[in-house]
Structure 1
Amino acid sequence: MKNLKFLLLGVFFGIVLTKSEAISWYRIYEMFKFQSFHMYGIIGSAVAVSMVLMYFFKNGTIKDYLGNQITIKEKKKGFIKTLVGGTIFGLGWALAGACPAPIFVLIGHGIFPIMIVLIGAMLGTFIYGLLSNKLPN
């Protein structure tokens, strides 16, 4: 029962992704071919909301669900690792036609072939976990 609010938030997020057509393979295809601004608008809106939330997190205005202040550690800047990570993520997104959040929404819609993508994403995460201490991060 205490996790009900997280379940409801996840369902709401899934509805938003569905209504905005962010789970549509065709919308993603149009984005990667630069034929439509639709997905860039969604991504830009997410970046803008994230910037505002980060401001409030850093000022201590917004607290976590237990009432504790959220602390965000400064990260080392790194162009190459960001470029490589973004390229791998983008290639996976383009090949699969879905980034991580829409995978779960598509499963919720009953599109079960996307389970192959979910297994691949989990396998990639597992492999990264095995190699992370050997990587320069």
Structure 2
Amino acid sequence: MKIVRYLLIGIFFGIVLVKSEAVSWYRIIEMFKFQSFHMYGIIGSAVTLGVIALWLMKKSGMRNTEGTPIHLIPKDKSFIKYLAGGSIFGFGWALGGACPGPMYILVGTGVFSMLIVIAAAVLGTFVYGILKDKLPH
């Protein structure tokens, strides 16, 4: 029954992203060219909502679906690591025209060329898995 709930939430989220044009290639290109505030507003709203949700989770002692307390592990403060990872992510986002979540939404809307981008993302993840032990962490 949980999977049906998650599937319905995912479908709703996909509809919201399509209707807000957050999965539009043109909106993404506008963002990377600094021509429109639209995507920055969506991303900024999501970050703000995430900060508030995490604060509430910490204050209320919220538990996960299994009933165990949620523990947030502090992040490493390495600026270079996050700059490099974010740059690689942004480069892939700019080349593919979508970040990982919207790739699947775009396939659902009939943009089947996104299957190539999904295959490339899966291949990249596979290569990272092979090279993970050789990379600095």
TM tier relative to shorter chain? over 0.9
For 2:68, give the aligned amino acid. Answer: N
2 CA distance for matches of 1:41 and 1:67?
Answer: 34
- Please name the residue that 1:67 is paired with: 67
The residue number in structure 1 matching 2:105 is: 105
Matched-pair contact (CA < 8 Å) for 1:60–1:70: no
**Map of 1:9-24 to 2, 5 A cutoff?**
9-24=9-24
- Comparing 34-43 and 48-57, the one that deviates more: 48-57
- C-alpha displacement of 1:60: 4.6
Matched with 2:117 is 117
The question of whether the paired residues in 2 share the 8 Å contact of 1:31 and 1:39 is answered with yes
Structure 1 stretches of 4+ moved >4 Å: none
Root mean square deviation, CA, Å: 1.2
**TM-score of the aligned structures, taking structure 2 as reference length:** 0.94
Letter in 2 for 1:121: A
* Alpha-carbon offset, residue 56 of structure 1: 2.4
Instruction: For residues 57-103 of structure 1, give each alpha carbon's deviation from its aligned partner in whole angstroms, at most 9, with x where no partner exists.
Output: 33354322222221111122101110110110011111111000110
Structure-to-structure mapping, 1:29-108, within 5 angstroms: 29-108=29-108
Is contact 1:28-1:97 (8 Å) kept? yes
Unmatched 5+ stretches in structure 2 = none
The whole-number CA distance in structure 2 between the counterparts of 1:96 and 1:8 is: 26
State, as a whole percentage, how many aligned pairs show the same letter: 57
Distance 2:111 2:31 in 1: 22
